[in-house]
Structure 1
Amino acid sequence: MMGGAQPLAGRHALVTGGGRGIGAAIARQLLALGAAVTITGRDRTRLEASASAMGCQAVAVDVTDSAAIQNGFAQAAQALGPIAILVNNAGIAKAAPFARTDLGLWDDILRTDLTGAFLCTQAALPDMLKAGWGRVVNVASTAGLTGMAYCAAYCAAKHGLIGLTRALAVELASKPVTVNAVCPGYTETDIVEETVTNIVAKTGRSREEALAGLVAANPQKRLIKPEEVAEAVAWLCLPGSAAITGQSIAVAGGELMVG
């Protein structure tokens, strides 16, 4: 993207859940575009190892803890300047039949995948408005655009995240701050690998059969690469993407054709 250009030079980007998978790919892409980057996560050891490898800042933050977010974001801003780009990527995915989705599982997923993005956006937004420029990108899922069996809590959280994206985009339309969502299909991450392992254990299918089942709805018949999601996120962060707001962009090999 953009060759050797540095269109995000001077901008501080914070990526939650940035220590691995999609979050790490997003951080690398934003760094390549010239942004100063902070990655956050709960696993301090992995987070710091990833930050050292990428050449960015690491701040341990639990997105379900409001005080930790406020303290962590203040620490990040003190080191690299006000946060101009926020990527709400932190999330968890757990599958269960609806009848076995207890309140603990429901609360855990909604608190992490939806309330976490709400709290992080509230923490970062004031500086964006003060600076007169900002980008918020929420990493949702195709599960936020359609229903999926055995994923009631996850679908509810991701649908909620898209609703938050749209509502905030309208509210901030007169400001130079955009709010968008990127919705990956099944992506080459540890979470998907765990899903495949669980399918194999519960059904007796081979790994190849389990994986084929996951990508069956994808016309390209493959997993999405984290770097492909990162490219979409980075595009939304560019100065030239100022007219793009309130959108939910599926990065899913044609799995969903959203009108």
Structure 2
Amino acid sequence: MGRLDGRVVVITGAARGQGEQEARLFTAEGARVLLTDVLDDRGEALAGELGQRYVRLDVGREDDWAAAVARAKEAYGRIDGLVNNAGILRFNALVDTPLEEFQEVVRVNQVGCFLGIRAVAPEIAAAGGGTIVNTASYTALAGIAATGAYTAAKHAVLGLTRVAAIELAPRGIRVNALCPGAVDTPMSNPALLDPDADPEEAARALAGLYRGLVPLGRIGRPEEVARAALFLTSEDSSYLTGQPLVIDGGWLAGVPFPGQPGGS
């Protein structure tokens, strides 16, 4: 018996990174998954490998959400859960950030989450209740320089999560937020997308950076975030709603002081 046997879950941004690992784990735990992304080749290949379905979904477009919901119902008959995982990150000093860049980050990370809740919640309610997991961030609870647009959007995602949890609880829907710290995906490690980059060199650089910042001394792995998403989607978290679940290796707790135990 899997922890998600019989559940139908929509996962956005499922073609790679955290979304890919969530799709893999949810499938292993018995869920029927609709994978969505804008990376069609990767998304379709992964869905085929897992024996699941894929549909293109730009999370900032209302029409795409309507089509994704229709596809899920056509394929599986209902929807029991949603993981709003899709997101983008742009690094820029706040005063140097073009308006277009700020708005695009908000469109994907914040508006995409809002549209997902609005489109899928009625279907989950009609199925008798279920779960929504919004991917926020460590930056929903703290600031990081050069991530103004991203941090603003992720703060908003956490606010949306809390309001949705209150409003949707009477309809049998629990809504929670994942708050990952740095995770070794193409978003935080662009070298993974560069065919000319040395992956071992990139891994060493990331390890050196986070050894001094994170009490556990390393960057996170996408499968660790996937396990947290599974917890929030399963009955293991049946009395938990409206909450941020931080997966950051202790980063939010504080930075190790150089020369002290755990410091660099």
Judge same fold: TM > 0.5, yes or no. Answer: yes
Equivalent of 1:173 in 152, 169, 184:
169
Shift of 1:257: 3.5
**C-alpha separation between the residues in 1 aligned to 2:202 and 2:109?**
30
2:181 to 171, 182, 185: 185
Q: CA deviation at 1:58?
A: 0.7
Letter of the 1:39 counterpart: L
Structure 2 unaligned blocks of 5 or more: 195-200, 255-264
Hey, what's the Cα distance between the residues in 1 that align with 2:86 and 2:193? 22
Among 78, 81, 93, the alignment partner of 1:82 is 78
User: CA shift at 1:55, angstroms?
Assistant: 2.1
Q: Secondary structure at the match of 2:166?
A: helix
Contact 2:191 2:202 in 1 (8 A): no
Which residue of 114, 117, 140 corresponds with 2:113? 117
Match of 2:55 in 1: 59
1:102 alignment partner AA: P
Q: Quick one: structure 1 residues 254 and 11, their matched pair in 2 at CA, closer, same or farther if it must change by over 3 Å?
A: same
Give the AA of the match of 1:109.
V
Q: What SS class does the counterpart of residue 135 from structure 1 fall into?
A: strand
Q: For residues 174 and 52 of structure 2, what CA distance do their matches in structure 1 show?
A: 24
Distance 1:45 1:197 in 2: 15
The CA distance in 1 between the partners of 2:17 and 2:232, in whole Å, is 19
Instruction: Tell me how far apart the structure 2 counterparts of residues 104 and 47 of structure 1 sit (CA, whole Å).
Output: 27
- 1:69 is aligned to 2:65: yes
How far apart are 1:211 and its partner, in Å?
4.7
Asked if the contact 2:206/2:219 (under 8 Å) is kept, the reply is: no
**1:154-182 C-alpha deviation (Å, 9 max, x unpaired):** 00000000000011111123332100011
Number of matched pairs: 249
**Deviation of 1:206 (Å):** 8.3
Within a 5 Å distance, the mapping from 1:227-246 to structure 2 comes to 227-246=223-242
Name structure 1 gaps, 5 residues minimum.
199-204
Q: Could you say which residue in structure 1 is the equivalent of 2:247?
A: 251
Alignment of 1:17-28 (within 5 A): 17-28=13-24
The 1:132–1:111 alpha-carbon spacing in structure 2 relative to 1, beyond 3 Å, is: same
Query: In 2, are the aligned partners of 1:26 and 1:233 still within 8 Å (CA)?
Result: yes
Select 1:98's aligned residue among 91, 94, 98: 94
Aligned to 1:14: 10
Contact 2:82 2:131 in 1 (8 A): yes
Structure-2 change in CA distance of 1:195 and 1:133 (3 Å): same
Q: Distance in 2 between matches of 1:84 and 1:112?
A: 23
In 2, the alpha carbon distance for the partners of 1:157 and 1:206 equals 28
Give yes or no for the alignment of 1:30 onto 2:26: yes
Deviations 1:200-241 (A, max 9, x none): xxxxx9874565234532111111111100001101111242
What does residue 197 of structure 2 align with? none
Q: What do you get for the CA RMSD once the two structures are aligned?
A: 2.2
Q: Deviations over 1:170-202 (max 9, x none)?
A: 11233321000111111111112217999xxxx
Identical-residue share of aligned pairs (%) = 36
Residues 147 and 155, structure 1, Cα contact 8 Å, conserved in 2: yes
CA contact (8 A) 1:186 1:215 kept: no
CA–CA distance in 1 between the matches of 2:192 and 2:76?
39
1:134 matched to 2:134? The reply is: no
Distance 1:225 1:241 in 2: 22
